[in-house]
Amino acid sequence: MAGKEVRPARVVVGIDGSDGSRAALEWAAAEAARRDAPLRIVHALGMPLIVSAHGGAARFEPTPEIHGQATGVLGEAEAHVRELRPTVVTEAVTAMEEAPLAVIRQSHPHDLIVVGTRGMGTFKSVFVGSVSVRVAAHAPCPVVVVPSRKGKPATTSMDRIVVGVDGSETARRALGLAYDLAAESGAELVVVHSWEVPYPYDPVAMTAAGYQPQEELFERQSEELVAGLLAEVVDERREDLDVEVSVVRTQNSPVSAILEAAEGADAVVVGSRGRGTVRGLLLGSVSQGVLHRSRIPVVVLPRHADEDE
């Protein structure tokens, strides 16, 4: 739309003082420095919501003790960022809402959200972490989920980025995001496509009957699919971007294929949903599987994150 305001891109990170959120804060600060972008640090209090039949809804005001704790958490976070990345401009925000809603409301389509795999009130038994999954499913912009490094400083060295694709529109958009990240950082881009040959079948009998062997058929289809997706992504940019691209095609399951290719990589990019998604999941089964098992940051592109409002 002509005349539409474009907000400057920021990095938005949710924290609560836990080890998991500290790793996210350090990664977010490093990424903000790399992008020369401001860093918005959000601490959510999750104050109870009061609903009245006549007066609408309102949240409890935090007590002075709660407010003081929040100020302390944010102050420590800003001091840590100044120590690690002194050039980064920070903004501290105390939000009354629950953590997922607070982080989402503090972000815009041109931003980048960073959260930890756990923390912000997450139960240890919850798959990956309810906050990270809910934010990754509903955010208006890409979300980076950073695993805890157990006291080790987080970095954003971007030498190798892995992206998983299938034939879905979500995968094409995820590939576009990964391509842009690789172009910005000078990283190698590894595109992973997997398929599983249906069994049982008799390859000898099928070949004798004149059918093309299943492995060869799927290999050719995979090559055509990936080549077509890459051509679309490059054509959309219409720029002379220098990105080194390699392709991995395999019969492994999608989650295993992506994680195997991600060994030694710096980030993994996935779409929030693709083909074969299990209904009822906030994220697709592949996205959740990668988030659950990845040892490196996972960039999730929510379903409509890069579409015009």
The CATH code of the domain that includes 91 is 3.40.50.620
Q: Is residue 152 part of a domain?
A: no
Q: Are residues 140 and 272 in the same domain?
A: no
Residue 166 identity: D
Clarify whether residues 20 and 72 are in a common domain: yes
Q: Yes or no: say if 131 and 14 are a contact pair by the CB < 8 Å rule.
A: yes
Query: Are 202 and 237 part of one and the same domain?
Result: yes
Domain match, 125 and 169 both: no
Residue carrying the six token digits 């990424």:
31
Residue 136 near residue 302 (C-beta atoms within 8 A): yes
Predicted confidence at residue 241, as pLDDT, reads: 80
Residue 53 included in any domain: yes
Instruction: Supply the pLDDT for residue 296.
Output: 93
Verify that 108 and 61 share a domain, yes or no: yes
Name the stretches of the chain with pLDDT < 50: 1-6, 119-128, 274-281, 308-309
77 and 172 fall within a common domain: no
The last residue of one of the domains, among 83, 116, 146, is 146
Instruction: Specify if 197 maps to a domain.
Output: yes
Q: Are residues 87 and 170 located together in one domain of the fold? A: no
| 38 lies in the same domain as 167 | no
| pLDDT in the model for residue 11 | 97
Tokens encoding 307: 């579409």
Task: Tell me, yes or no, whether 4 lies in a domain.
Answer: no
Burial class for 222, CB neighbours closer than 10 Å (0-12, 13-18, 19+):
buried
Which tens digits make up the pLDDT trace of 182-210? 998 899 999 999 876 555 555 555 555 55
The domain boundary residue, chosen from 90, 121, 146: 146
Domain assignment present for residue 290? The answer is: yes
> What pLDDT was estimated at residue 2?
44
CB 305 within 8 A of CB 140: yes
Residue 307 lies in a domain: no
Q: How far apart are CA 146 and CA 143, in angstroms?
A: 10
Specify if 40 maps to a domain: yes
Tokens standing for residue 68: 């003081």
Does 103 share its domain with 177? no
The verdict on 206 and 251 lying in the same domain is yes
Range of the domain at 189: 160-301
Examine residue 258 and state whether it is found in any structural domain, yes or no.
yes
Q: Are residues 164 and 251 in the same domain?
A: yes
Predicted local distance difference test score (pLDDT) of residue 17: 86
Number of domains present in the structure of the chain? 2
Last residue of a domain, one of 115, 146, 177: 146
How many C-beta neighbours within 10 Å does residue 118 have? 23
Domain check: are 88 and 201 in the same one?
A: no
